[in-house]
Amino acid sequence: MANTILIGSQWGDEGKGKIIDVITTEHQWVVRYQGGNNAGHTVEIGDQKFVLHLLPSGMLREGCSCVIGNGVVIDPAALQKEIEEVEAQGIVTKGRLYVSDRAHMILPYHRLIDAYREGRATDKDKIGTTKRGIGPTYADKASRVGLRMGDMLDAAFPEMLAHRIQENNRILSSLGAPTVDEEECVDQILGLAKALSPYIADTVTLLNQADRRGESILFEGAQGVMLDIDYGTYPFVTSSNATAGGACTGSGIAPHRIERVIGVIKGYTTRVGEGPFPTELHDEAGEGLRKAGNEFGATTGRPRRCGWFDAVVARYAAMINGIDFWALTKLDVLDHQPVIKMCVAYEFEGRRYESVPASIRILEQCQPIYEEMPGWMSPTTEISRLEDMPIEARHYIARLEELTGVRAGIISVGPKRHSTFVIEDVYKPSL
């Protein structure tokens, strides 16, 4: 057994795709277990750049099998488009990609409901969703009125689909929102069902059989701990469990089959969409991070909010997920910061907070307590050993480890595959 869960430890966009791409060499399987095409992983291989939303990053490694697990919500049109795109870039998907028959489908009415809610929300209520229909699809799943990918293979699927469209059109009309053209939608989804049916499988059995044969599985988290529906900054969260526990419920692999949990964490913090963000910067330093880190959403192109590293969030992530070591990314983005700050705790109404409070009202008003450190002011992108990093950067990493109680096992200093190195005494390969 050498199964690994890799999760985002902040608000998503930590550079998970890149780290997954590097460590897939140790795994025969890569599994997406939650979220949907709200995610966006950018991976650069040589001169080619891939942006994946639904497909597991393992698709980019020959010989690696990939699963979109039962915990994921799938927009069939988006999946088909992505399959076509990667195939055009030379990636084979047939016989390598398996889509869970239990995964719920995002249908056009889910997107309309998502867009409608976001459109009519006041500034205070707006979540800033990706408008991909994620929340309404998970809501239907919990309400037991969803359609699953396996339903596409059922002879009664056209009627099931028509029935769901009619009911949702009634809801949409009563809200005064645009409705779905039933005939057009049924035709479109039936066409997609035909194209996607070769990929639909009982992935729960498939994965457990692979595990029993001794093949190792990498669980690829989407979004991040602070966007988790239970542990994040509710209601400014996504609608799934982006934390490590989600890997088991979202794939059908038992908890005791997991060997290690890797937390991907950026050397600073970003957030897309609305909601509290204690270390957010509204000044030149924030703008500098956005530019140097190219912090614009891979899915929506929105500029990301940027701020200093928040050790309160990192400690919380380590605790909830049992993180064995950090994959610390985008450290090079700090190369030109003369002074770097790190948030060690929060303060609100004279009280010191060492962990993230559940109350949004409190979190919104929390003031970060910072430690300041000198920056290293030199390029790190070509460095491939910790010993060669500038002394200030090593101090920064050491302080981050001390404050979070977790060592860094992987360091990434640039977007290319080769700009990543491991810390030998922390990182244990899984094979």
Binding site for ligand IMP (CB under 6 A): 11-13, 38-40, 127-130, 132, 134-135, 222-223, 227, 236, 238-239, 272-273
Q: Is residue 425 flagged as an active site residue? A: no
Shortest Cβ contact with ligand IMP: which residue? 273
Q: For residue 75, which of 59, 98, 99, 41 has the smallest C-alpha distance?
A: 99
- Which of 41, 53, 104, 110 is catalytic? The answer is 41
Q: Is residue 336 flagged as an active site residue? A: no
Report in angstroms how near the CB of residue 319 gets to ligand IMP at its nearest: 21
Are 354 and 315 in contact by the 8 Å Cβ rule? The answer is: yes
**Residue partners of 42: CB distance under 8 A and separation at least 6:** 17, 18, 49, 50, 51, 52, 298, 415
Report in angstroms how near the CB of residue 118 gets to ligand IMP at its nearest: 9
Report in angstroms how near the CB of residue 38 gets to ligand IMP at its nearest: 4
Q: Which one, 281 or 403, has the nearer CB to ligand IMP?
A: 281
- Which of 13, 21, 114, 310 is catalytic? The answer is 13
Q: Which one, 16 or 27, has the nearer CB to ligand IMP?
A: 16
Q: Which one, 68 or 127, has the nearer CB to ligand IMP?
A: 127
Report in angstroms how near the CB of residue 275 gets to ligand IMP at its nearest: 6
**Phi, psi of 211, rounded to the nearest 5 degrees:** -60, -40
Strand, coil or helix: 122:
coil
Q: Which one, 35 or 252, has the nearer CB to ligand IMP?
A: 35
Q: Cα separation of 358 and 158, whole Å?
A: 44
Q: Which residue shows structure tokens 């799938």?
A: 74
Are 61 and 249 in contact by the 8 Å Cβ rule? The answer is: no
**Residue partners of 376: CB distance under 8 A and separation at least 6:** 334, 335, 389, 390, 391, 392, 393, 396
Q: Is the peptide bond before 235 cis (omega within 30 degrees of 0)?
A: yes
Q: Which one, 134 or 244, has the nearer CB to ligand IMP?
A: 134
Report in angstroms how near the CB of residue 145 gets to ligand IMP at its nearest: 19
Strand, coil or helix: 30:
strand
Residues annotated as part of the active site? 13, 41
